[in-house]
């Protein structure tokens, strides 16, 4: 089901190199490759002279050193954080201490919904629970710097506090982990929520940005078309789940085996959570039922019309 999206895995970028991806946008990749991070997390530098940094990245002294070296003769006035996964925000305190920049983000790390009784959060360790922005941003807020203008674009779904940042002068969007060229985004409860995620995709589909700079992988040059592929992919995945349930009640591991063919074994847990995210949405919409709140070990069946 993955091959309906025209994925692009071409990123010839060594860690710790400064790469000017377009005039006014530099990127530096952390050396944290993995099944969720592709070749590494990308930090972006916006502008020249008096600049902003988008996503300082993981708490890795080498990455922090490279980022600070890249802006050695400049002034960092703003730090923007797309979301509080541990590969995006833990470098914030070090960059803030070295530069005195003000930190902007939607808010602290939080789950999209309360935990159910007896539920433990399998994603606890992936969140940067210490993060606090200096300035909490609302959707649509405009922040003006020296030669650049950023608009905060609330995009919950991957995390509850996910924020994308539109670079108005370049018609570009720093899109974090909401949309990526190399793979689909992970939407995993309780931190993520599928209904929010779909609404955020629909919102981006109506915007005018032509290029996306994601937190991982290459830039997306045909942004509107790519978002539509992402939307179609999610709808197809939902249709596959409903199709499987039409054959009878079943559980999430069975669905993962039947629709995620050839998946990287390291991603099986994430795939299960992604199916759970769809189940939460389908139960809320009255299409699917289960006993008690939707759970990773629950049995699901179609609601008969």
Part in contact with Zn ion (CB under 5 A); list of ranges 38-46, 79-87, 129-137, 257-265: 79-87
| 238 binding Zn ion? (CB under 5 A) | no
Shorter beta-carbon distance to Zn ion: residue 148 or 165 = 165
Token output for 243: 């199709």
Closest contact distance (angstroms) between CB of 158 and Zn ion is 6
Closest contact distance (angstroms) between CB of 207 and Zn ion is 21
Part in contact with Zn ion (CB under 5 A); list of ranges 46-54, 85-93, 108-116, 187-195: 85-93
Shorter beta-carbon distance to Zn ion: residue 32 or 99 = 32
Residue 97's contacts (CB-CB under 8 Å, 6 or more residues apart) are none
Shorter beta-carbon distance to Zn ion: residue 71 or 137 = 137
* Helices then strands, each counted (H, E), the chain: 6, 15
| 85 binding Zn ion? (CB under 5 A) | yes
Closest contact distance (angstroms) between CB of 274 and Zn ion is 13
Instruction: Classify residue 246 as exposed, middle or buried by CB count within 10 Å of its CB (0-12, 13-18, 19+).
Output: exposed
> What are the backbone angles phi and psi of residue 145, rounded to the nearest 5°?
-115, -160
DSSP 38-51: BT-PEEEEESSSEE
Part in contact with Zn ion (CB under 5 A); list of ranges 11-19, 70-78, 110-118, 172-180: 172-180
- The count of residues interacting with Zn ion (CB under 5 A) is 2
Which strands, in side-by-side order, build the sheet including 135-136? 19-22, 25-29, 42-46, 50-54, 75-80, 102-105, 135-136
Closest contact distance (angstroms) between CB of 86 and Zn ion is 9
For the chain, how many residues are written? 305
CA distances from 221 to 25, 103, 225 (A): 14, 28, 9
| 177 binding Zn ion? (CB under 5 A) | yes
Part in contact with Zn ion (CB under 5 A); list of ranges 19-27, 38-46, 98-106, 169-177: 169-177
Q: Which residues in this chain contact Zn ion in the complex, by CB under 5 A?
A: 85, 177
């Amino acid at each position: 089901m993955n091959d309906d999206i025209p994925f692009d895995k071409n990123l010839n970028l060594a860690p710790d190199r400064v790469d000017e991806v377009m005039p006014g946008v530099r990127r530096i990749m952390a050396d944290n490759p993995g099944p969720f991070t592709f070749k590494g997390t990308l930090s972006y530098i916006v502008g020249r002279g008096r600049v902003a940094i988008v996503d300082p990245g993981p708490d890795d002294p080498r990455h922090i050193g490279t980022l600070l070296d890249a802006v050695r003769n400049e002034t960092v006035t703003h730090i923007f954080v797309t979301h509080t996964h541990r590969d995006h925000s833990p470098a914030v305190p070090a960059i803030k201490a070295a530069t005195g920049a003000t930190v902007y983000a939607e808010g602290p790390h939080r789950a999209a919904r309360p935990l159910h009784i007896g539920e433990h959060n399998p994603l606890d360790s992936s969140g940067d629970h210490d993060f606090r922005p200096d300035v909490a941003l609302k959707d649509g807020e405009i922040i003006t710097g020296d030669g650049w203008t950023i608009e905060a674009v609330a995009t919950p779904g991957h995390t509850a506090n996910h924020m994308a940042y539109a670079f108005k002068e370049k018609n570009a969007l720093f899109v974090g982990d909401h949309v990526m060229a190399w793979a689909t985004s992970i939407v995993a409860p309780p931190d993520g929520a599928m209904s929010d995620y779909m609404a955020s995709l629909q919102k981006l589909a109506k915007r005018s940005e032509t290029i996306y700079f994601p937190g991982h992988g290459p830039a997306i040059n045909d942004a509107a078309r790519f978002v539509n592929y992402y939307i179609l992919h999610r709808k197809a995945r939902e249709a596959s789940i409903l199709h499987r349930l039409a054959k009878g009640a079943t559980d999430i591991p069975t669905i993962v085996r039947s629709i995620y063919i050839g998946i990287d074994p390291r991603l099986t847990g994430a795939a299960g959570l992604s199916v759970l995210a769809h189940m939460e949405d389908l139960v809320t919409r009255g299409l699917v039922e289960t006993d008690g709140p939707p759970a990773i070990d629950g049995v699901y069946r179609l609601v008969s019309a």
